[in-house]
């Protein structure tokens, strides 16, 4: 099925051609002044240059050709040569009646593209904090949108489990528990089945270890030496780990096991799901092969003990440093694991695209990695590598979001605060029991959080404003849900006593009804744009506009009254709206409660 606007455009293109002009000038866009017209075409202004003719005359010729088309209710020229269009009620109604039977709302599907989406990116032994919110929320939505369009999609959490932070945690554990069998070279028994530590222990250990590597400016010589020693040991531990040295590797496995279990629970609370739980460490087995490939191609060389590949390109306006493939001593670093992971994904999935949902401050890293991957031919030359860099969630002071006492806020705490806020708001509703209110506020709270995040352009920073996000009015998740719940309750009321006879929408009699139909017809266009541009924000805006129109309709039209044919038509319309809202929020990654 074609998008409504495209069908319309084809008619205008044809008219341009019939008047002897190139059809490229027949482009139709949605009007942003609905008080003037529904659609517009500005092509005559552009055509004027090529044909050396006044735009107004060109537009008039084109309009003349369309005058008798039954698709248009109004088509007119406005100075200096705009073509303003209103479509006929019949045209829009017929189109919407077709959507009723379209499972995908008339979207044009992709055919079996394989897409790997790398999102989440939590680090082992560190708690999930607000910084992990955006990749999870955005990645989940982008993944769902790609799945909707029929792609084979693989979401990979890509755990940070192989870097220096692991060496630091191990060093601190060794300092606290030198007696543990993991650190005894001569130990040849079985390591403990049950972990000797909890997630909370780990969460306290990492910052402690990390602080031991830092010294203040006026530190004594002794303190400096101590810090250096600690860091050096952590580095050694990391190298041992990467060699899978007995004891170290076993301890690491336990740390990963405990952390992953906790991470899974946390992501579940966010309704975020991964197909793969691989980590940086899983790429280690490809490192040797990858480096050999680079050697064969003659692109890798030694520089200050490290192994690097040049990635500067002649068109660069700034200097791009060589990509470090291995650190001194052959130790893997962040670039190593990302490169080897590309190789792994190529071998395992032969993807058409890999999308990275990562903090935009890591852009340079990915420029280096992508270029190096192409140069070393570890990725198919036609595969796309996409960096979807996101901005920071800031506090009201414009700085990265912190707790009241300046610490990094844990994700759990943030979610609790939002749920609590929604619960407070719901307290005004007397009819719902307290226990249910709690459950509903969890659903609505998550929607508030996700909608607030996704309604921004991905690359932009945004300000976390709990009062604004949880408001039941305005561009918020709760407002969208409130509207959907309203639609559902009307439908339930109808379904309790009757059923529809004919599954079709009648031509609108009120202006507001036509506006709803126009909005419905736009859905497939919005979905396609949000897919092609990886932009869930387009769905957010659309749902907000649709909710606004529906709520005006609800004020004006007695939905459950009137002649039976009209009543049926209203119910069919509401059922379609419900389907669109449910589909939209599902693509954004949240659900609606039954009541609120
Ligand atoms: N763990 C990384 C971090 O905390 C994010 C990982 C992003 N994904 C990737 N393939 N590098 O910064």
Confirm whether 404 is domain-assigned: no
- Shared domain check, 432 and 382: no
pLDDT at 155 over 80: yes
Q: What is the DSSP string of 362-427?
A: GHHHHHHHHHHHHHTT-S-TT-EEEEEEE--EE-TTSSB---TTSSPPBHHHHHHHHHHHHHHHHT
Mean pLDDT of 473-499: 96
- Shared domain check, 150 and 18: no
Confirm whether 402 is domain-assigned: no
Confirm whether 49 is domain-assigned: yes
- Shared domain check, 192 and 51: no
Residue with CA closest to ligand 1 atom 7: 121
- Helix/strand/coil for 30: strand
- Shared domain check, 384 and 417: no
| Structure tokens given for 284 | 């280690």
Q: How far apart are CA 200 and CA 51, in angstroms?
A: 73
Q: Is 161 in the pocket of ligand 1 (CB under 6 A)?
A: no
Mean pLDDT of 72-96: 96
Q: How far apart are CA 242 and CA 228, in angstroms?
A: 21
For residue 358, give the ligand 1 atom closest to its CA: 7
pLDDT at 399 over 80: yes
Confirm whether 472 is domain-assigned: yes
* Per-residue pLDDT reduced to its tens digit, 218-263: 999 999 999 999 999 999 999 999 999 999 999 999 999 999 999 9
pLDDT at 404 over 90: no
Q: How far is the CA of 36 from the centre of ligand 1 (A)?
A: 49
| Angle, helix 511-532 to helix 564-588, in steps of 10 degrees | 20
pLDDT at 428 over 80: no
Contact 429, 423 (CB under 8 A): no
Q: Is 160 in the pocket of ligand 1 (CB under 6 A)?
A: yes
- DSSP H stretches of helix in 243-333: 248-269, 284-296
Mutate to test the pocket of ligand 1, among 129, 163, 338, 358 (most ligand atoms within 8 A of CB): 358
Q: How far is CA 87 from the centre of its chain?
A: 34
Contact 469, 452 (CB under 8 A): yes
For residue 160, give the ligand 1 atom closest to its CA: 1
User: Into how many domains does the chain fold?
Assistant: 3
Residue with CA closest to ligand 1 atom 3: 121
**What is the predicted pLDDT for the residue at 119?**
97
Confirm whether 401 is domain-assigned: no
Q: Tell me phi and psi for residue 475, to 5 degrees.
A: -75, 75
Domain of 34? 4-87
Sign of the CA dihedral running 10, 16, 20, 22? negative
pLDDT at 491 over 80: yes
Q: Is 356 in the pocket of ligand 1 (CB under 6 A)?
A: yes
Query: What is the chain's mean pLDDT, rounded?
Result: 94
pLDDT at 353 over 90: yes
Residue with CA closest to ligand 1 atom 11: 338
**What is the predicted pLDDT for the residue at 203?**
86
Provide the CATH number for the domain around residue 123. Answer: 3.40.50.620
Largest Cα separation within the chain, whole Å, is 93
pTM as predicted: 0.94
Confirm whether 241 is domain-assigned: yes
- Shared domain check, 304 and 247: yes
Q: How far is the CA of 273 from the centre of ligand 1 (A)?
A: 17
Region at 453 (left for phi over 0; alpha for psi -120 to 50; beta for the rest): alpha
DSSP state of 109: P
**pLDDT-based confidence at residue 385 (cuts at 50, 70, 90):** very high
* Closest among 63, 68, 61 to 88, alpha carbons compared: 68
Confirm whether 44 is domain-assigned: yes
Q: Is 266 in the pocket of ligand 1 (CB under 6 A)?
A: no
Mutate to test the pocket of ligand 1, among 119, 121, 256, 334 (most ligand atoms within 8 A of CB): 121
- Shared domain check, 534 and 434: yes
- Shared domain check, 293 and 197: yes
- Shared domain check, 134 and 219: yes
Residue with CA closest to ligand 1 atom 5: 121
Provide the CATH number for the domain around residue 31. Answer: 3.30.1360.70
Query: CA–CA distance from 378 to each of 130, 291, 294, 334, 383 (Å)?
Result: 34, 10, 9, 17, 11
- Shared domain check, 533 and 492: yes
Confirm whether 397 is domain-assigned: no
**What is the predicted pLDDT for the residue at 410?**
83
- Shared domain check, 269 and 309: yes
Q: How far apart are CA 204 and CA 240, in angstroms?
A: 23
Residue with CA closest to ligand 1 atom 10: 338
Q: Is 345 in the pocket of ligand 1 (CB under 6 A)?
A: no
Contact 139, 119 (CB under 8 A): yes
pLDDT at 430 over 80: no
């Amino acid at each position: 099925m074609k998008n409504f606007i495209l069908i319309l455009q084809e008619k205008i293109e044809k008219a341009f051609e019939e008047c002897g002009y190139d059809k490229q000038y027949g482009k139709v866009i949605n009007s942003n002044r609905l008080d003037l017209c529904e659609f517009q075409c500005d092509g005559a202004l552009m055509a004027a240059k090529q044909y050396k003719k006044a735009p107004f005359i060109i537009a008039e010729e084109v309009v003349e050709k369309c005058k008798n088309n039954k698709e248009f209710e109004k088509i007119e020229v406005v100075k200096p040569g705009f073509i303003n269009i209103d479509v006929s009620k019949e045209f829009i109604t017929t189109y919407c009646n077709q959507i009723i039977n379209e499972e995908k709302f008339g979207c044009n599907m992709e055919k079996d593209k394989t897409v790997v989406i790398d999102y989440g990116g939590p680090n082992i032994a560190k708690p999930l904090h607000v910084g992990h919110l955006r990749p999870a929320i955005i990645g989940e939505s982008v993944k769902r949108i790609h799945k909707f369009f029929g792609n084979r999609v693989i979401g990979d959490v890509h755990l940070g489990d192989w870097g220096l932070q692991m060496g630091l945690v191990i060093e601190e554990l060794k300092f606290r528990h030198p007696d543990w069998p993991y650190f005894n070279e001569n130990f040849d028994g079985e390591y403990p089945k049950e972990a000797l530590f909890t997630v909370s222990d780990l969460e306290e250990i990492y910052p402690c270890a990390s602080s031991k590597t830092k010294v203040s400016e006026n530190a004594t010589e002794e303190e400096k030496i101590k810090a250096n020693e600690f860091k050096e040991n952590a580095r050694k531990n990391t190298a041992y780990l990467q060699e899978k040295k007995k004891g170290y590797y076993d301890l690491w496995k336990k740390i990963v096991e405990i952390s992953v279990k906790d991470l899974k629970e946390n992501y579940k609370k966010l309704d975020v799901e991964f197909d793969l739980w691989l980590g940086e460490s899983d790429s280690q087995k490809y490192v040797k092969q990858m480096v050999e490939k680079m050697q064969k191609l003659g692109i890798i060389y030694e520089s200050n003990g490290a192994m690097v590949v040049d990635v500067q390109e002649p068109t660069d306006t700034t200097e791009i440093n060589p990509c470090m493939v291995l650190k001194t001593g052959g130790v893997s670093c962040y670039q190593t694991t990302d490169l080897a992971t590309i190789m792994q994904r190529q071998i395992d999935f032969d993807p058409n695209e890999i999308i990275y949902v990562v903090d935009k401050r890591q852009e340079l890293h990915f420029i280096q990695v992508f270029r190096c991957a192409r140069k070393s031919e570890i990725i198919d030359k036609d595969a796309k590598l996409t960096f979807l860099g996101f901005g920071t969630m800031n506090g009201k002071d414009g700085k990265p979001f912190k707790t009241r006492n300046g610490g990094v806020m844990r994700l759990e705490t943030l979610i609790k605060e939002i749920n609590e806020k929604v619960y407070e708001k719901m307290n005004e509703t007397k009819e719902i029991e307290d226990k249910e209110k709690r459950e509903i506020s969890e659903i609505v709270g998550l929607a508030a959080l996700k909608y607030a995040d996704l309604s921004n352009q991905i690359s932009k920073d945004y300000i976390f404003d709990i009062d604004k996000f949880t408001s039941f009015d305005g561009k918020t998740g709760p407002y969208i849900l409130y509207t959907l719940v309203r639609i559902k309750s009307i439908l339930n009321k109808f379904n309790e006593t009757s059923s529809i006879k004919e599954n079709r929408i009648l031509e609108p009699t009120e202006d507001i009804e036509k506006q709803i139909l126009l909005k419905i017809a736009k859905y497939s266009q919005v979905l396609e744009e949000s897919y092609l541009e990886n932009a869930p924000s387009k769905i957010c805006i659309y749902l907000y506009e649709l909710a606004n129109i529906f709520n005006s309709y609800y004020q004006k039209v007695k939905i459950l009254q009137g002649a039976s044919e009209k009543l049926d038509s209203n119910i069919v319309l509401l059922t379609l709206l419900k389907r669109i809202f449910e589909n939209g929020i599902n693509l954004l990654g949240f659900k609606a409660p039954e009541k609120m």
